[in-house]
Amino acid sequence: MDINMKLIEGGVCAAKGFKANGIHCGIRKNRTKKDLSLILSELPASAAAVYTTNLVKGAPIEVTKKHISNGYARAIICNSGNANTCNADGIEIAEKMSECAAVALGISSDDIVIASTGVIGQPLDLTPISAGIPSLAEGLSENGSAAAAEGIMTTDTVKKEIALEFSIGGRLCRIGGIAKGSGMIHPNMATMLVFITTDVSISPAMLQKALSSDIADTFNMISIDGDTSTNDMVAVLANGMAGNSEIVSEGSDFEAFMEALNTVNIHLCRMIAGDGEGATKLLECRATGAKDIKTAKAVAKSVICSSLVKAAMFGSDANWGRVLCAIGYSGADVDVRKIGVSFKSSKGLITVCENGAGIPFSEEKAKEILLEKEIEILISLGQGNYCSTAWGCDLTYDYVKINGDYRT
């Protein structure tokens, strides 16, 4: 499908009718770190979201579920530095945070998606948030995506944003997103915090269908450390200002939107995986030749989750036996005698295993390939035509350092 898709600037402000901002309000002690972000749609927008499956959930998730139960929203507000999770007054704080934003924006508090990220189990003081919201709202700008992206960061080392321009039914459309995520990432729904905006006209039901469908092949295929967060959320607002005919059913327009959404999500997945806590390398595992998609996903995810594979990649060690080991305990029904493994980077490609057994290869060449910042682990299963991709990072000394004193 040719939808004339191209990368553009603007992040969550690229689509018509969206503004954003991010400030330091005082939740975090470091005044150079922004800790409160806001995104606003000029018009009511179709809203969809997916959430963590962890039984322990942040209070903002419960509030957001209620707020967008009618399928619509106008704004997203998010703080960093405190997850507002496992707090006796968490729901009350989340609701009051929404109410403060609603007053500053002149909208209903029920039209606000709310999110929090940071330390779990620490009381969240509303005082700096309520004091900061007026200036946060006043500073909303069509150039505010970068500030909003910074405001949701915790241990992230880089802000994560993307925007695309594409066409639906002859109308120019835009979609953009920002994300945060560096640690406690092993999702089973979505991952971390991701906020996406688009000016496409699409019904709430079809927007939810698109998002729920896409995360199975994107955000659910990331793993940094095997820990599923309590506050994971991916939310999408679509305000219809592109002027296309509203998408209310499947068809070519829905497929075009799905292609654009998938492109945005994969880009953010790669940024999140590459910015894993302490990471030095982005790992991409592609499992091909599977007999069904379930098998392909299980294999790719198991390899990307393996601590031993991740450690080997940190050391640029072509220890392919660890890859086979991870496949073996994945639960996938595979024929080990047909498995092939290769490693690839900008320095070239090297095959290290064929038919489930090692083959002669140059350790020097393998080391050169694995010293690069982006590594592909290529697995051939030789049993069918299905494939899947998962993303992760290497496991380094710094991961332990970061998480050893994260709270203090």
CATH number of residue 172's parent domain: 3.60.70.12
At 149, list the tokens. Answer: 């992206």
Q: Are 164 and 260 in contact (CB under 8 A)?
A: yes
* CA atoms of 170 and 386, how far apart (whole Å): 33
Instruction: Indicate if 260 and 321 belong to the same structural domain.
Output: no
Q: CB neighbours of 251 closer than 8 A, spacing ≥ 6?
A: none
Instruction: Indicate if 398 and 305 belong to the same structural domain.
Output: yes
Residue that is last in its domain, among 220, 254, 274: 274
Residue 1 lies in a domain: no
Residue that is last in its domain, among 248, 274, 300: 274
Check whether 284 has a pLDDT greater than 90: yes
3-state secondary structure 19-70: EEEEECCCCCCCCCCCCEEEEEEEEEEEEEEEECCCCCCCHHHHHHHHHCCC
Instruction: Indicate if 157 and 296 belong to the same structural domain.
Output: no
Residue 317 lies in a domain: yes
Residue 406: is it exposed, middle or buried by C-beta count within 10 angstroms (0-12/13-18/19+)?
middle
Instruction: Check residue 155 and give its pLDDT.
Output: 83
Instruction: Indicate if 72 and 129 belong to the same structural domain.
Output: yes
Give the range of the structural domain holding residue 93, as residue numbers without chain letter.
6-274
The CA-atom distances, in angstroms, between 187 and each of 107, 384, 395 are 33, 27, 18
Check whether 176 has a pLDDT greater than 80: yes
Instruction: Indicate if 353 and 375 belong to the same structural domain.
Output: yes
Average per-residue pLDDT for the chain: 94
Residue 198 lies in a domain: yes
Mean pLDDT over 228-243 rounds to: 92
Q: Are 281 and 313 in contact (CB under 8 A)?
A: yes
Q: Number of structural domains, the chain?
A: 2
Instruction: Indicate if 24 and 153 belong to the same structural domain.
Output: yes
CATH of residue 375's domain is 3.10.20.340
Query: Would you place residue 215 in the very low, low, confident or very high pLDDT band (cuts 50, 70, 90)?
Result: very high
Residue 141 lies in a domain: yes
| pLDDT tens by residue, 305-351 | 999 999 999 999 999 999 999 999 999 999 999 999 999 999 999 99
Instruction: Indicate if 171 and 293 belong to the same structural domain.
Output: no
Residue 242 lies in a domain: yes
Residue 341 lies in a domain: yes
Q: CB neighbours of 76 closer than 8 A, spacing ≥ 6?
A: 37, 38, 39, 112, 113, 114, 115, 195, 235, 237
| pLDDT tens by residue, 94-119 | 999 999 999 999 999 999 999 999 98
Catalytic residues: 191
Mean pLDDT over 185-209 rounds to: 87
Instruction: Indicate if 256 and 342 belong to the same structural domain.
Output: no
Query: Would you place residue 236 in the very low, low, confident or very high pLDDT band (cuts 50, 70, 90)?
Result: very high
* CA atoms of 136 and 20, how far apart (whole Å): 9
> Which residue in 93, 112, 116, 91 sits closest to 101, CA to CA?
112
Instruction: Indicate if 319 and 176 belong to the same structural domain.
Output: no
Bridge partners (DSSP) listed for residue 234: 50, 194
At 186, list the tokens. Answer: 């092993």
251 Rama class: left (phi>0) / alpha (psi -120 to 50) / beta = left
Instruction: Check residue 225 and give its pLDDT.
Output: 77
E strand or H helix at 356: none
Q: What is this structure's pTM?
A: 0.91
